[in-house]
Structure 1
Amino acid sequence: MILHLQSVPPRNGLLWVRHGLKVLQRKPIALIGLFATVMLASAVLQFVPLLGQLLVMSALPLVSLAFMLAAHQVLQSHTPTAAVFLQPLQLTKERRRAQIGLGLLYTVTTILAMLLAHWLDGGALVRAMEQVANAKGDPQALELIAAQADIGPSVALRVTLLALLSIPFWHAPALIHWGGQGVMQALFSSTLGVWRNKGAFALSGLVWAALSFGVMMSITLLCLVLGLVSALPFILLPLMMALMTGFYCSLYFTFIDCFMFGAPRDLPEATETPT
């Protein structure tokens, strides 16, 4: 498939958010189920020392591509299944190798970014986490740690490094899958795509952050007023999972808008077909 790098206006960032939520609205159970599957698999792999964490990191680019494929299937009036996680590996041998190589490269660069952050902050965040673990839930100890440890800059540093790292990997899995590009070419093209459309990406990120914060604050205040504080985690968890699923679905529209035929102004009406 021939891809063309395109420039879109900043307002398209809002379009991506709206389309991601509309796709979620059409197949909420199937799509949230896919996200829950990812979370469950990640939790299980955490029990495998080191190797499990490495596998989770390596799979993240494929997970983003899987949700792009899922969003595409929803637009075709199909119900996506867990098979979307394997579809990127079932094309040609070259593209399968490229996807695996991309995942391994993402893992290596993420580890290097975290090592850099650890060096820059002098290990402040690690020390604070060790102190929290040693406190074993003691409220007084935790309060003392919170008063002494200023971990804000350390967290901000890691978030910034991961955000910068996401730029070359944002479109790379899709560029390999639909465009047949190699790993290095896909990383370069993705960087160009994000940079050329940085206004739309910035607006999209702000809207997703505002939605998440707004939902958390609204539900928290409502539970406080109704005296349902103990139920807060059980209410927030599915809502935040839904928002995260909508975000992952919106990735499809960022890609087609930047490299393919452009995101539509509005989505076509859904038609029911056998699934």
Structure 2
Amino acid sequence: MKLNIVPARTGLQWVKLGMRTFFRQPLALTGLFFMYMAVVLVISQIPVLGPMLGAMLVPAATLGLMAASAEASSGRFPMPTVLLSAFRAGRQRARAMLVLGAIYTAGSLVATGLGTLLVGDAGSGAAADAQMPEVDTRTLLILLLHSPLVVMFWHAPALVHWHGVTPVKSLFFSVVACFRNFGALAVYGVAWVMVFVAIGFLVSSVGLMLGGLAVARSIMVPTVLILVAMFSTSLYFTFRDSFRADDATGEAGPPGEESHP
């Protein structure tokens, strides 16, 4: 497995590939994303252990959605079982994915606890008093503290599954790849923000014209979920073009067409 450095403009290509692949199988990819969300929602309702079990599934679910994107990009219909890809590649890699899940859960608990400790309920209280629930200092801080986890786990599940990298090494390689391809990921992120803002503005404007604020809100929720499903489809391409299989190792790369800018 070798790191592949790509130019910044590749970030736009990742967005385009994600959209193109999503529209090849929109119902399947949206359904798989909703299925994952439903499973996490149900598990999170389990007292005490629910949130931790849900967090442990994040790396495996990320890999499952990437595998679904790989199937769709190759012209195949992604079946629901693709979400279990992380646990169908042998005992060793399934165990490694569970280790990743445990590390992610621990990191998430630390980030959430630290954010709560630093801000407490003050941020939420101030937001409630100002009747501006969207401005929540505690939530924003917790999201910021999760940023290192996002970088560490951006490529890690795919590296474990498709290249057989150990959990700790996969986290290290993910960080290195994100920094080495920072330009492409920055363009990728900005492009997706612009897509979300543009489509959100268009949909909300149509909703306001059709029936006011209530209608706008009612159609914005499914629109945002579909956009997130489309974004998750594009994650596969950020991995595929950031790494390539080393023929000398015999490791298999991800399925789908090989395309490295």
TM bucket, shorter chain: 0.7 to 0.9
Q: Superposition pairs for residues 18-37 of structure 1, below 5 Å?
A: 18-37=16-35
Work out which of the two has the higher radius of gyration on C-alpha atoms and give 1 or 2.
1
* 2:149 counterpart residue number: 165
Q: Does 1:72 align with 2:70?
A: yes
In structure 1, list runs of 5 or more residues that go unmatched. Answer: 133-141, 266-275
* 2:50 counterpart residue number: 52
Q: Structure 1 counterpart of 2:10, which letter?
A: N
* 2:9 counterpart residue number: 11
* 1:41 counterpart residue number: 39
Q: Does 1:209 align with 2:206?
A: no
Q: Structure 2 counterpart of 1:5, which letter?
A: L
Counterpart-to-counterpart distance in 2, 1:93 and 1:235: 43
Counterpart-to-counterpart distance in 2, 1:110 and 1:71: 26
Q: Structure 1 counterpart of 2:113, which letter?
A: L
- TM (norm. structure 2) is 0.87
The percentage of aligned residue pairs carrying the same residue is 32
What is the RMSD computed on CA atoms of the aligned residues? 2.3
Deviates more, 1:45-54 or 1:25-34: 45-54
Residue 152 (structure 1) shift: 4.8
| Contact 1:124–1:151, Cα closer than 8 Å, also in 2 | no
**Count of residues in correspondence between the two structures:** 249
Q: Does 1:249 align with 2:223?
A: no
| Contact 2:208–2:215, Cα closer than 8 Å, also in 1 | no
| Contact 1:118–1:124, Cα closer than 8 Å, also in 2 | no
Q: Which has the higher contact order (CA 8 A, sep 6+)?
A: 1
Question: What is the CA deviation profile of residues 51-91 of structure 1, one whole-angstrom value per residue up to 9, with x for unaligned ones?
Answer: 22112111111111111111111122211121112121111
Relative to 1, partners in 2 of residues 1:117 and 1:155: Cα closer, same or farther, differing over 3 Å?
Answer: same
Counterpart-to-counterpart distance in 2, 1:7 and 1:256: 12
* 1:269 counterpart residue number: none
Relative to 1, partners in 2 of residues 1:263 and 1:248: Cα closer, same or farther, differing over 3 Å?
Answer: farther
Counterpart-to-counterpart distance in 2, 1:248 and 1:147: 32
In structure 2, list runs of 5 or more residues that go unmatched. Answer: 246-257
Relative to 1, partners in 2 of residues 1:221 and 1:10: Cα closer, same or farther, differing over 3 Å?
Answer: same
Q: Superposition pairs for residues 112-261 of structure 1, below 5 Å?
A: 112-125=110-123, 128=125, 142=128, 145-146=129-130, 152-260=136-244
Residue 208 (structure 1) shift: 1.2
